[in-house]
C-alpha cells in the first residue's frame, strides 16, 4: 500500500532555478518528523509523463512541485498554491504532461477521479543552461518548504 501523501517535484537541475522541484523533494524530509516522513512518499523526475499515473493511485493527497517564472501570475510572491483539476482536452504536441493533463489521463485510465492534487509553483528567475540556483529562488524554496510542513501535517 502506498503512503497516503505523494510529493512530486520535477525539473532540470542543469537549468538553474528549474531545479527547484527536485531540490524541494530532496530537502523536505529534513524538515519532517519521523511520523510525517512515514506518511509521505517523495518522487522527483525530469518531467511528468503518462507513466506517473500509477504513482497517484491509492493516495489521499498529492502535491506537485515545480519552478515557475511568475508564481502563477504573481511576479513578487515566493510561491503560489492552487488546486489541480483534470484537463478537458489533451495536447498533441508533447509526451510531457502538465499536472492537469496527468489527472485527465488518470481518469481515462482508471475510470475514476484522481485524489485531491495541489500545485506548488515556486518562483525562479534564472533558467539558463549551466546556471546555479539563484539566491532569490533559494529564498523562495525556503518559504515553500515552510508552507509544505503544514500541508503534510494537514488531514
**Radius of gyration of the chain measured on its C-alpha atoms:** 15
pLDDT band at residue 115 using 50, 70 and 90 as cut-offs: very high
Grid cell for residue 71: 508564481
Q: Average pLDDT of the chain?
A: 91
Q: Is a pLDDT exceeding 80 seen at residue 117?
A: yes
Give the model's pLDDT for residue 55.
Answer: 95
Q: Rounded mean pLDDT of 83-96?
A: 74
What are the strands, taking DSSP E only, across 11-149? Answer: 40-45, 61-68, 79-84, 117-123
Of the candidates 146, 118, 124, the residue with the CA atom closest to the CA atom of residue 77: 124
Contacts (Cβ under 8 Å, ≥6 apart) of 96: 47, 48, 49
Strands 79-84 and 117-123: antiparallel
Give the model's pLDDT for residue 146.
Answer: 96
- Specify the CATH superfamily of domain 5-47+61-85+113-153: HybD-like (3.40.50.1450)
Grid cell for residue 45: 523526475
For residue range 13-58, what is the model confidence (pLDDT) as tens digits?
Answer: 999 999 999 999 999 999 999 999 999 999 999 999 989 999 999 9
Give the model's pLDDT for residue 72.
Answer: 64
Q: Is a pLDDT exceeding 70 seen at residue 93?
A: no
For residues 150 and 76, the model is more confident at 150
Domain ranges of the chain: 5-47+61-85+113-153
Amino acid at each position: 500500500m502506498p503512503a497516503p501523501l505523494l510529493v512530486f517535484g520535477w525539473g532540470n537541475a542543469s537549468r538553474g532555478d528549474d531545479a527547484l522541484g527536485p531540490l524541494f523533494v530532496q530537502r523536505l524530509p529534513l524538515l519532517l518528523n519521523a511520523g510525517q516522513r512515514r506518511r509521505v512518499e517523495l518522487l522527483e523526475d525530469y518531467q511528468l509523463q503518462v507513466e506517473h499515473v500509477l504513482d497517484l493511485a491509492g493516495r489521499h493527497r498529492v502535491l506537485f512541485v515545480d519552478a515557475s517564472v511568475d508564481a502563477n501570475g504573481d511576479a513578487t510572491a515566493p510561491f503560489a498554491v492552487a488546486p489541480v483539476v483534470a484537463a478537458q482536452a489533451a495536447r498533441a504536441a508533447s509526451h510531457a504532461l502538465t499536472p492537469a493533463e496527468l489527472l485527465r489521463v488518470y481518469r481515462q485510465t482508471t475510470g475514476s477521479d484522481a485524489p485531491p492534487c495541489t500545485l506548488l509553483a515556486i518562483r525562479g528567475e534564472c533558467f539558463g543552461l549551466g546556471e546555479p540556483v539563484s539566491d532569490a529562488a533559494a529564498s523562495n524554496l525556503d518559504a515553500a518548504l515552510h508552507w509544505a510542513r503544514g500541508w503534510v501535517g494537514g488531514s
